[in-house]
Amino acid sequence: MTLPLMPKATAIWLVENTALTFKQIADFSGMHELEIKGIADGEVGMGIKGLNPLSTNQLTKEEIDKATNDPEHLLELIQNEITLQTEKDPKQKKYIPLSKRQERPDAISWLLRNHAELKDSQIAKLVGSTTNMVVSIKTKANWNMSNIRPQDPVGLGLCKQIDLDDALEKAARSQDRAAKKKIKEEKILQQQKQEELQSKVDSEAASNSEE
């Protein structure tokens, strides 16, 4: 599926300047319909300037009018140098089916609930997401929190059991090292306190003997 140049910025412009349905904009930009609703509610894409697809020759006014009058009509992207370059650009993110996009937050939620020992970066790597996404779900600040349902990422096919086991082993080793470091630091602190106390006792004893 070929996406428009700067999909989110394009979606923002369409939300702000047309009467298209959330679904039409979502299908055209490759985003989730709830993300488009989030844009309309001011919860998603804050600070991003909308990109006019008419000025970049990716849509025509006639096409937008046609879609506005027919909610079932899917917007057709104009094939030109810009859209072809977007399709071939190796840096362009691969299109992810809407169902799979929802599965990632579900998997993140499951891992946070069942394996709190995993680092945010480990979780993001396992399910192919970002650390920011993990943090937003952990802090319950994610815009789509009410629709997230914890699901095992292995069962969803987002990662292999061996990869999850490997991540858990690394997390366990990391926790073990942290625990040993804490014990060592506590021993050092306790020793310092004992030395300070002994020094105080010796000082008081020396002072009494001089008297």
pLDDT score, position 115: 92
pLDDT score, position 44: 79
| Residue ranges of the chain with per-residue pLDDT less than 70 | 1, 80-102, 208-211
Put simply, whether the predicted model's pTM sits higher than 0.85 gets the answer no
pLDDT score, position 211: 59
**Buried-state track 84-121, b at ≥16 Cβ within 10 A, e below 16:** eebeeeeeeeeeeebeebbbbbbbbbbbbeeeeebebe
Neighbouring C-beta atoms of residue 57, cutoff 10 Å = 12
pLDDT score, position 72: 92
pLDDT score, position 154: 85
pLDDT score, position 80: 55
pLDDT score, position 96: 47
* Domain segments of the chain as ranges: 7-88, 98-162
